């Protein structure tokens, strides 16, 4: 069967994470799915096509812009797929339970209390249902963080180094993810990391990289009070691409099943 809604090949970040998610997800026609942090529909459109018109997919995101974009892409198609603006960290009681709860690139948005967010999601999972989440885990872009820290150290930027260290340490690990699912009593738990290389060039190619700016690099800039100093440090780092490449992300997949009868 030729898919009308495949994962987009031109998306070099969301699609590889979604592929890792789908590798662990058990789909079936007629399934009900809650897709959290749905963004503009990767992989919600794919999921909806797989479950078919007897199923239901609800894609939620806290960004009204992303929800509007997902609806615009959908148009009149896949009417059993809905997008709604909701905070996954505090789902209202009206949200039902689902056979599957998915979330691509989701876990970083669970802050400040990730465990309680996962608990709330499991509450909306049917007995015998599966939870599958992906995120860039601890270790993602470590070579870059080391190079930035080195540049900060050379310049004696103590406070900025402390901010950077706290940012890097805050990223959840695969071991933390497993501990959440264990504590919630899920079964058949799988926690897997898949490496993903992100190519980049020097200078502006790095500083304005579509996968890095608007996310990871912006977080680094927030470590500085003086943005002119931040620009200076990052420009120097951008001129030393061989010092931190290959640039590797860790695609972490958390998968677990809710016990029957719960």
- Regarding whether 207 and 228 lie in a shared domain, the answer is yes
Residue 127 lies in a domain: yes
User: To which H or E segment does residue 207 belong?
Assistant: helix 204-207
Q: What is the pLDDT of residue 2?
A: 72
Residue 221 lies in a domain: yes
Q: CATH number, domain at 97? A: 3.40.50.150
- End-to-end CA distance of the chain, in Å? 37
- Regarding whether 236 and 182 lie in a shared domain, the answer is no
- Regarding whether 99 and 86 lie in a shared domain, the answer is yes
pLDDT 10s digits, 70-98: 999 999 999 999 999 999 999 999 999 99
Domain that holds residue 219: 142-168+199-243
Q: What is the pLDDT of residue 1?
A: 59
- Regarding whether 164 and 206 lie in a shared domain, the answer is yes
pLDDT 10s digits, 16-49: 999 999 999 999 999 999 999 999 899 999 999 9
DSSP helix/strand/coil, 105: coil
User: To which H or E segment does residue 255 belong?
Assistant: strand 248-257
- Regarding whether 148 and 163 lie in a shared domain, the answer is yes
- Regarding whether 18 and 113 lie in a shared domain, the answer is yes
Residue 6 lies in a domain: no
Q: Hunting for tokens 């996968």 — which residue is that? A: 211
The conformation of residue 54, written as its DSSP 8-state character, comes to T
Residue 217 lies in a domain: yes
| HSE of 190, CA atoms in CB hemisphere, 13 A | 18
User: To which H or E segment does residue 228 belong?
Assistant: helix 227-238
- Regarding whether 86 and 102 lie in a shared domain, the answer is yes
- Regarding whether 221 and 101 lie in a shared domain, the answer is no
Structurally, the chain folds into a number of domains equal to 2
At 239, is the pLDDT very low, low, confident or very high (cuts 50, 70, 90)? very high
Residue 162 lies in a domain: yes
The residue among 20, 67, 73, 21 whose CA lies nearest residue 45 is: 73
- Regarding whether 221 and 156 lie in a shared domain, the answer is yes
- Regarding whether 43 and 156 lie in a shared domain, the answer is no
| Strands of 67-210, DSSP E | 81-85, 98-103, 125-136, 187-197
- Regarding whether 105 and 187 lie in a shared domain, the answer is yes
- Regarding whether 85 and 158 lie in a shared domain, the answer is no
Residue 41 lies in a domain: yes
Residue 262 lies in a domain: no
pLDDT 10s digits, 101-128: 999 999 988 988 999 999 999 999 999 9
The residue among 13, 197, 1 whose CA lies nearest residue 105 is: 13
| Strands of 86-244, DSSP E | 98-103, 125-136, 187-197
């Amino acid at each position: 069967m030729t898919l009308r809604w495949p994962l987009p090949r031109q998306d070099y970040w969301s699609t590889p994470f979604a592929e890792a998610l789908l590798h662990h997800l058990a789909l079936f026609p007629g399934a009900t799915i809650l897709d959290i942090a749905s963004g503009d529909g990767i992989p919600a459109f794919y999921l909806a096509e797989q479950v078919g018109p007897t199923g239901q997919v609800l894609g939620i995101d806290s960004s009204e812009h992303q929800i509007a974009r997902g609806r615009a892409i959908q148009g009149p198609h896949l009417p059993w797929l809905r997008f709604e603006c909701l905070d996954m960290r505090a789902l209202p009681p009206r949200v039902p339970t689902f056979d599957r709860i998915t979330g691509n690139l989701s876990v970083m948005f669970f802050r400040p209390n990730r465990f309680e967010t996962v608990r709330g999601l499991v509450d909306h999972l049917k007995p015998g249902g599966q939870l599958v989440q992906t995120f860039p885990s601890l270790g993602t872009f470590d070579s870059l963080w080391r190079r930035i820290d080195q540049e900060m150290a050379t310049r004696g930027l103590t406070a900025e180094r402390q901010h950077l260290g706290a940012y890097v340490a805050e990223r959840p690990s695969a071991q933390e993810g497993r501990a959440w699912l264990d504590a919630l009593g899920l079964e058949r738990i799988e926690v897997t990391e898949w490496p993903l290389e992100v190519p980049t060039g020097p200078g502006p190619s790095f500083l304005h990289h579509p996968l890095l700016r608007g996310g990871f690099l912006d977080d680094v800039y927030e470590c500085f009070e003086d943005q002119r100093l931040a620009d200076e440090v990052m420009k120097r780092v951008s001129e030393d691409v061989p010092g931190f490449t290959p640039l590797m992300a860790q695609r972490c997949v958390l998968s677990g099943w809710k016990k029957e009868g719960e």
